[in-house]
Amino acid sequence: MAATIFAVHPILIESVIWISGGSYSNGAFFGFLTILFYLLFSQNREKKFYLLSLLSLVVTFLFLEKLIVLPIILLLYEVCFGQFKKNWHRLIPFFLFSFLFALKLLGLLGAKITSLETTYYQQPGLENPFIQIPIAISSYLSLIFWPKALTLYHSELTFNQGQYFLKLGVFLIFLGLIIFFFKKEKRVFFWLVFFIISLLVTLTPFKISWVVAERYVYFGSLGIFVFIAWLISQIGHWFKNQKISWIIFGLIIISFSTRTIIRNFDWKNQDTLWLATAKTSPSSSQNHNNLGDLYFRQGKYEKAVEEFEKAIDLKPNYGDAFHNMANTYHQMGDDNLALENYQKALSFNPNLWQSHQNLAAIHFNQKNYQLAKEELEKAIKINPENAELHTNLGILLHLLSLEEKKPLINKVP
C-alpha cells in the first residue's frame, strides 16, 4: 500500500518531472538501496551486502548531500529492531562517510551563502526554530494528506497568531503520535521518526534552504505513506471487515492519481508552471519575475513591466527584476528608463554581466563607443569565457581605431 501511494502521490512530482529536482529522486533511490543492502546484511551476514550498502551510501551523497542523515536512520533501525549494543560498530563506517561529506558541505557554506545573496537576494541570518520547524513539518503533513496547494515557490508562510498556533498544534500532535507509538508499535514509530530524520538538514536555523520545498520531502515522505497504509489496514481490523480498508485505499489512490494528472499539466512547460504558481504563491517575487518574462516573450510589454514592478515591491533589492524591466523598456523604445534600470540592477548585483552587455549595446547604438567599450570590459571581467563578449569588444576596438585615424576636415568660415 505504501509503495503504491508513493508511486502516485502528487507531492513527489517536482522531484520527478523537474530536471533540476532529479537529484532528489536519484538520491532517494540509492538511499533506499543503502537501507535494503544493510537489511540484507543484517539477515544473512554476507559481507558483500555490507560493502554494497556502503557503496550505495557514497553514491547517495554524490547525488544528494542532504541525505548525510542516512546513517541516523540505520542507527534508528538497530535501536528499534536490531541489537544496537552488539552491532553498533557496523555503523562506524557509515557515520565516517557522513562526517566527511558534512565537512565538505561546511566548506561550501560560504559559497552557498554568497550564491543565496547574489542569485536569490536573500539576506543572511537565522530562522527562529520554534517558528520554522512547526511550520515546516505541519506544512509537509498538510501537503501529503491534502495536496491542494502544491507550488514551486512556497512563499505563503506568513501567518497570524491563530494560524501559527494551529500549525503548532498539528506539530505537537505529530510529536505525541511518535511518543505514543514508541510504546505501542515500534514499526510505526520507526517510520514517523524516519520522516523527521530525512528533513533534519533542511530544518537548520541557518537561512541556506527553503523553509518548505516539495522536493525536500521526496525521500522522507515514505515514512508518512507507511503510516497511512498502516492506518488504512487498522480500520479494517477495527470494523472486522478488510473490504472497508480496500475501499478506502482505492479511493485514496484514485484521488491522488487524479491530482497527479492535473498537477502534471502545470508542469507542461515553464509558462504553464508560472501561471499555476501565480495562483498558489502570489507573494513570490521570483514568480512575478518569471511572469514578467512570460509576458515579455509574448510581446505584452506593459503587463511585463507590471509583473517586474510587483517583484521589486516584494523584494526591493531584486537585481534580476530590474535587469528584466530594463530589457522591456529597451524593447519599448525607452532607452533612458532602460539605462536607469540596468544601473539599478548592477547596484544590487554587480555580477550581472548581462546588464553590462546590454548597456554596451545601447551605448553602441547611440555611437558612444568609448562607453560601450568600458561596459564590455566590465562584462568580460565578470564572464571572461564568453566568446561573444570578446568578439563585440574586438568590433568596438576596431571602430575606435578607425575613429582615431579619421583625417581632420578644415571647416570653411
Are the C-beta atoms of residues 178 and 80 closer than 8 Å to each other? no
Q: What pLDDT is stored for residue 407 in this prediction?
A: 56
State the first-to-last Cα distance of the chain, in angstroms, to the nearest integer: 97
pLDDT digits (tens, 9 = 90+) for 309-344: 999 999 999 999 999 999 999 999 999 999 999 999
Read off the pTM: 0.91
Question: If you search the block for the grid coordinates 523584494, which residue do you land on?
Answer: 315
Mean per-residue pLDDT for 9-18?
97
pLDDT digits (tens, 9 = 90+) for 93-109: 999 999 999 999 888 87
Spatial CA neighbour of 71 closest among 179, 218, 197: 197
What percentage of the chain has pLDDT greater than the value 90?
Answer: 87
Q: How many CB atoms lie within 10 A of CB 121?
A: 18
pLDDT digits (tens, 9 = 90+) for 184-236: 999 999 999 999 999 999 998 888 888 999 999 999 999 999 999 999 999 99
What does the alpha-carbon distance between residue 392 and residue 398 come to, in Å, rounded to a whole number?
Answer: 10
Are the C-beta atoms of residues 318 and 289 closer than 8 Å to each other? yes
Q: What pLDDT is stored for residue 410 in this prediction?
A: 46
Q: What pLDDT is stored for residue 413 in this prediction?
A: 43
Domains and CATH numbers, the chain: 13-107 (no CATH), 123-268 (no CATH), 272-400 (1.25.40.10)
Mean per-residue pLDDT for 138-161?
95
333: left (phi over 0), alpha (psi -120 to 50) or beta: left
The set of residues, in sequence order, having a beta carbon less than 8 Å from that of 261 and lying 6+ positions away, is none
pLDDT digits (tens, 9 = 90+) for 241-266: 999 999 999 999 999 999 999 999 99
pLDDT higher than 60, residue 289: yes
Are the C-beta atoms of residues 315 and 188 closer than 8 Å to each other? no
